Amino acid sequence: MMKELNLRGNALLLKGARVLDPGAGLDGVMDLRIVEGRIAEIGPALNAGAGAVLDLSGALVTPGLVDLRSRFGEPGQEERETIATGLRAAAAGGFAEVCVLPETTPPIDDAAGLEFWRTRAASHAARLLPVACVTRGGSGEILADLAELVDAGAVAFSDGYRGLPGAHALRGSLLYARQFKRPIFQLSADESLLGGEVHEGRASLFSGLKGIPSIAEDIAVYRDIRCAEYENAPLHLQLLSTRESVDLLREARERGVPVSGDVGVHHLCFTEEDFLASDYGPGLRLQPPLRTEQDRRALIAALKDGVLSAIVSDHRPADFDRMDREFSYRPFGASSLETCIGAAVKALVETGELSLGRLVELFSDGPRAVLGRPAVRIAVGQVACLSLLRNESWTYRRTAGQSRGVNSPWEGQELPMRGLGVLNGDLACLDESLAELIRV
């Protein structure tokens, strides 16, 4: 279990961890002293001094990790996830900051909604980064008051899983958002080619379920990139899943188009073959669907060469009532905040595809660059925004987790890394085995 702590007025010594911050050139076993929410000292074998000492031998400390795409349920769908359970799940997964989509009831499309979120999240160490609706009610029609939303703290704009349905809506949104230096988060899909449940290919052929073709994404990605190029406005394409989409993004970035992209952790770990072998298991009814091994390889290559800027959890929890039904009647999505880092390490680092340092960049510097925010560094004088992780095998069980979601494809699977918690200034959310060592 995770425990929230307010460390104001307390010193804390993190002892014996591997500190990994590629941007600062740090990679080694050392100690960190935190005083008044800031990093006061870094070095080997620091004296204990005043305050609590956390023995982190065998653990990993990184700059605070960021998830660019999660969905909670509050307000209106608290049975899926509340702000509290979602942010504790984020901390349990090692995420210090989480971009939360505005798909709630009602949608977050005004300053009052953002203030509600801010108030509910204020006491939590994992920081909620609010993504507000581009259009009123997320309808894809009339633009929301983006100026008001920026003033209220929105870090980006998105109509969530629906996306902006056409070029006209996207152009207007890009033109409006450009003046505020906030990206549009877009899930690119041609609505006329949707309506299926799995990848159009072997998955649809052998399951008998209606397929979603790759071109549903590819056509929309081309359209959306051209809109961003025409308006010279920042656009971030989320959950890319096909090799053709990656090629389009690569070509656009080479032309200097202000467009970036990310990939969901599921599409790095699974393919349509895993779906076929799963016996319709939980968490594999995804939007976009799991594609081919060739697509997965193209996504990994794009992470290696920097075409894709980030890996996201795409946390989309569902409660038992929604999942206790036939596959075709279940909601799309998977509960994945608590398993995202471990799953990425298993799929990418243990297989030799990426170094651990590169993976940290894809969860820290990359996402912050997408948001236009400065990188977080582990350096003396900096606010302590840190993720704590441990290299050890563990088995995910939803009954022992923080999220309310029951739709995890990693249920019962062994993963090689787990989160121990996060520090954000004076606030901490730590695994209770660590939290019990601190008296505040």
Sign of CA dihedral 318, 322, 324, 329: negative
Closest CA to 338 of 270, 420, 432, 281: 420
Cβ atoms of residues 366 and 309 within 8 Å: yes
Kindly report the backbone phi and psi dihedral angles of residue 311, in degrees, each rounded to the nearest multiple of 5, phi listed first: -110, 135
Question: What is the spatial distance between Cα 275 and Cα 282, in angstroms, rounded to a whole number?
Answer: 10
Non-local CB neighbours of 407 within 8 Å, separated by 6+ positions: 282, 283, 316, 317, 318, 323, 330, 331, 333, 334, 335
Going from the C-alpha of 126 to that of each of 157, 206, 210, 232, 422, the distances in angstroms are 20, 42, 39, 33, 7
Pairing verdict, β 59-63 and 11-21: parallel
3-state secondary structure of 77: coil
Q: Within 10 A of 332 (CB to CB), how many other CB atoms are there? A: 15
Choice among 190, 224, 314, 365 that is catalytic: 314
Question: What is the spatial distance between Cα 14 and Cα 11, in angstroms, rounded to a whole number?
Answer: 10
Q: Which amino acid makes up residue 78?
A: E
Q: Which H helix or E strand runs over 258? A: none
Cβ atoms of residues 277 and 185 within 8 Å: no
- Angle among Cα 242, 248, 249 to the nearest 5 degrees reads 90
Is there a catalytic annotation at residue 314? yes
Cβ atoms of residues 158 and 102 within 8 Å: yes
Q: Where are the alpha helices (DSSP H) in 190-326?
A: 202-207, 215-231, 243-254, 266-269, 272-277, 293-304, 320-323
How many helices (H) and strands (E) are present in the chain, helices listed first? 15, 19
Cβ atoms of residues 331 and 318 within 8 Å: yes
Q: What tokens appear for 24 in the block?
A: 């600062």
Question: What is the spatial distance between Cα 234 and Cα 170, in angstroms, rounded to a whole number?
Answer: 12
Active-site annotation, residues:
314
